Amino acid sequence: MTNKATTNRRSFLNKAGATAGLVGLTMTAGCFGAGDDDENGGANVEATDPDMLDEQLPTYQFLNNAQSYNPPRHDAINLMADQFGRIGLDMEVEVLEWGTLFNRVDVEYDYDFSLWHTFFTIDPVLELNSTMYSENTEPGQGNFAGYENPDADDLMDQYLEEPDADTRIDLVHDLQRTLMEDLPQMPVIDMPFLAVYNNEQVDNWEADLPHGFNSYWTMINLEMQGGEDTLKGYWPEALDTMNVLGHNDENKHTYNFVVIYDTLVRLDNEGEIDTDVSLATDYERVDATTMEYTIRDHTFHDGEPLTVEDIAFSYNYISENEVPVYSVQSNFIDEAEVVDDSTVRIHMPDDNPLGPFNLLVGTQIPILPEHRWADRDEPSQVNVEEPVGSGPLQFDYWDQGAELGLERFDDHFAPVDFEQRFWRIIPETSTVWENLRNGDLNYEPFGRIDRPLDENRDEDQISVQSVPATSFWHCTPNQRSDGLDDPEVRKAVFNAVPRSAIVDQILFGVPDPGFNVVTEAFGPLHTDDVTQYEEGVDIAIERLQDGGYGYDENGMLHFLVE
């Protein structure tokens, strides 16, 4: 790391209120515990009267991924732990491989601080319900932070049952205010969707809410340039499966299935349902637990007609077989019923009605051809070699481990502008960029923020488009740990998170610092009207001193004697 970079980082941290001496980014990018050396440990603050001090806050473990797994997040965690040390917390950074890390945080709850990159689907409350609901705190249930707040629970319950969209907006705004006041999760960075592409071959990239630039919306609006007729992308690792019911919801799978299979309704780039590009030409909520859809004439890729029977079959089949990847949606499906040749009704369970049914279920459940799936007993275990859907792209070939080829489905009601799309598996980043520059690839579906992006984004033929996404980095303290159950400590910790430095120094200035658990990508569901937390170590220290904590002569944080 050059002196210039160290100096830049110094100025950022000073701006963020870091007052103690700094170590270079090279060191923070390593694996030391933030409380391990004298330079890091303890706040630079006047000691409290020793008679007033009770026990020191415990040593906290910040679990980190290996540098090779996710370099920016690794560096950010070290930087954050360093800053937490400066407000008097005794920090240890433990570097773990991904599987262990996930297990420790998400399953065993054996951690103190974590930094996760969470992708919300199209409705934030269902996700927040999983990770924040008070009844989900047992191991494996999702609320790994151990956060309990009956007020938040009540708001989430009301939201999920509320059929009226405007009322839901009010409820989710209240929920954001509650959560940002309590801070069970600290939104560190709002990660954007990125479209990186060769502008000599393709243009007009538009993102939609759930899938960003890899959405159906994008594909039908793309405009090929210079006579190019192939959309050429890559992915760094092999696809696992062509089974739409047997994948693990990773983007590399959903980005393909979303264009191979139609869903009942589709969103436009504003997150609104657009019946022009949906299988359903009309829909209505018949009552609190029933949705009715009118379906257009359409066919599957193999030429068989797509009927309302296929739609009813898809919903019933996925629900009855308890397909894991659609387990959340299955909770809200009681039965699908054919009304007539063009109408189908989806009934929700009487005791579990869902307000935003279209958003959470209608846009998610793939429509399967009954004639292909009816005889498959364990749908999630089936090895599908040639998927047949009805989406705008149809399967062409899958050279496993090497390349996936899709081609335009000419009979689709909203066809794409290109004839073919392939994804080549290229693990080596420098090769990807060389290919992007010379046109052997013309887009990067991965949207990775890294040094090669920073080095190449000013090239004439390379365009980089960034839009708010439904994903964010959040630092989540384990509220089962002493001290971290106090909102004042969490708020001070959030003050100490050097969000601007992480954006500018680690993420090349591409994303924005986070300030809300529901990002602005959610449009009207998002609100700016939440408690804002200024960055700064001094602000954090002052908050802790005001909040009933004191410092010993080493600058370590203590509870005060009651």
Partner 1 sequence: MSKASFVVRRLLQLGVTFWAVGTVLFFLFRLMPGDPTAFVVSAQMTPEARQQVIESYGLNEPLYIQYVRFLENALTLNFGQSFHTNQPVREVIWTYLPNTLVLMLSAFVVAYILGIVLGVLTGWYRGSRFEKTTVVTALTARSLPTFYVGLIVLWLFGAGLGVIPMSGMGTAGQSYDSFWARIFTLDFLHHLVAPAAVLAFYYMGYPLLIMRSSMMEVLSQDFIDVCRAKGLSERAIMFKHAARNALLPIITAAAIALGYAVGGSVLIETVFGWPGLGREMVNAVLRRDFPVAQGTFMVLAATIIILNFIADLLYGYLDPRVTYD
The residues binding partner 1 (CB under 8 A) are 96-100, 102-103, 106-107, 118-119, 121, 127, 130, 140-142, 230, 232, 237-238, 240-241, 243, 246, 248-250, 322, 324-325, 327-328, 331, 380-383, 396-397, 399-403, 405, 420, 422, 424-428, 430-431, 434-435, 438, 440
Q: Alpha-carbon distance 296 to 478, whole Å?
A: 50
Q: Which is nearer to partner 1, 181 or 249 (CB)?
A: 249
Q: Please state the closest distance from residue 88 (CB atom) to partner 1, in A.
A: 31
Q: Please state the closest distance from residue 252 (CB atom) to partner 1, in A.
A: 11
Q: Which is nearer to partner 1, 327 or 554 (CB)?
A: 327
Strands 230-235 and 420-425: parallel
Q: Which is nearer to partner 1, 2 or 103 (CB)?
A: 103
Q: Alpha-carbon distance 387 to 279, whole Å?
A: 19
Q: Please state the closest distance from residue 84 (CB atom) to partner 1, in A.
A: 25
Q: Which is nearer to partner 1, 126 or 183 (CB)?
A: 126
Q: Which is nearer to partner 1, 246 or 555 (CB)?
A: 246
Q: Please state the closest distance from residue 457 (CB atom) to partner 1, in A.
A: 18
Q: Please state the closest distance from residue 381 (CB atom) to partner 1, in A.
A: 5
For the beta sheet containing 290-295, the strands, ordered from the edge strand earlier in sequence to the opposite edge, are 280-287, 290-295, 343-347, 335-340
The β-bridge partners of 118 are 472
The torsion region of residue 284 among left (phi > 0), alpha (psi -120 to 50) and beta comes to: beta
Q: Which is nearer to partner 1, 30 or 405 (CB)?
A: 405
Q: Please state the closest distance from residue 107 (CB atom) to partner 1, in A.
A: 7
- Residue 520 dihedral angles phi and psi, to the nearest 5°: -70, -10
Structure tokens at 223: 């405009």
Q: Please state the closest distance from residue 98 (CB atom) to partner 1, in A.
A: 7
- For residue 218, which amino acid is it? T
- Residue 119 dihedral angles phi and psi, to the nearest 5°: -100, 115
Structure tokens at 9: 């980082």
Q: Alpha-carbon distance 11 to 457, whole Å?
A: 25
Residue 518 · residue 176 · CB < 8 Å: yes
Q: Please state the closest distance from residue 437 (CB atom) to partner 1, in A.
A: 9
Q: Please state the closest distance from residue 103 (CB atom) to partner 1, in A.
A: 4
Q: HEC string of 107-128?
A: HCCCCCEEEEEEECCCCHHHHH
Q: Alpha-carbon distance 179 to 189, whole Å?
A: 16
Q: Which is nearer to partner 1, 126 or 172 (CB)?
A: 126
Write the DSSP string, 205-264: ---BTTTBTTSHHHHHH-EE-TT--EEEEEESS----S-TTSS---HHHHHHHHHHS--S
Q: Which is nearer to partner 1, 102 or 508 (CB)?
A: 102
Q: Please state the closest distance from residue 97 (CB atom) to partner 1, in A.
A: 6
Residue 144 · residue 476 · CB < 8 Å: yes
Question: Burial of 430 by CB count in 10 Å (0-12 exposed, 13-18 middle, 19+ buried)?
Answer: exposed
Write the DSSP string, 266-302: -B-TTS-B-GGGSSEEEEEEEETTEEEEEE--EE-TT
Q: Please state the closest distance from residue 343 (CB atom) to partner 1, in A.
A: 29
Q: Which is nearer to partner 1, 12 or 315 (CB)?
A: 315
Write the DSSP string, 407-456: EE-TT-SS--S-SEEEEEE---HHHHHHHHHHTS--EETT---SHHHHHH
Q: Please state the closest distance from residue 241 (CB atom) to partner 1, in A.
A: 5
Q: Please state the closest distance from residue 99 (CB atom) to partner 1, in A.
A: 3
Q: Which is nearer to partner 1, 285 or 372 (CB)?
A: 372
Q: Alpha-carbon distance 396 to 389, whole Å?
A: 12
Q: Which is nearer to partner 1, 460 or 562 (CB)?
A: 460
Whose tokens are 């700064």? That residue is 536
Q: Which is nearer to partner 1, 61 or 380 (CB)?
A: 380
Residue 326 · residue 391 · CB < 8 Å: no
Q: Please state the closest distance from residue 435 (CB atom) to partner 1, in A.
A: 6
The torsion region of residue 197 among left (phi > 0), alpha (psi -120 to 50) and beta comes to: beta
Q: How many residues does the chain have?
A: 562
Q: Which is nearer to partner 1, 299 or 431 (CB)?
A: 431
- For residue 501, the SS3 value is helix
Q: Please state the closest distance from residue 443 (CB atom) to partner 1, in A.
A: 13
Q: Which is nearer to partner 1, 241 or 307 (CB)?
A: 241
Structure tokens at 70: 């996710």
Q: Alpha-carbon distance 306 to 82, whole Å?
A: 58
Q: Alpha-carbon distance 170 to 524, whole Å?
A: 10
Q: Alpha-carbon distance 90 to 498, whole Å?
A: 18
Whose tokens are 């935003």? That residue is 356
Q: Which is nearer to partner 1, 121 or 307 (CB)?
A: 121
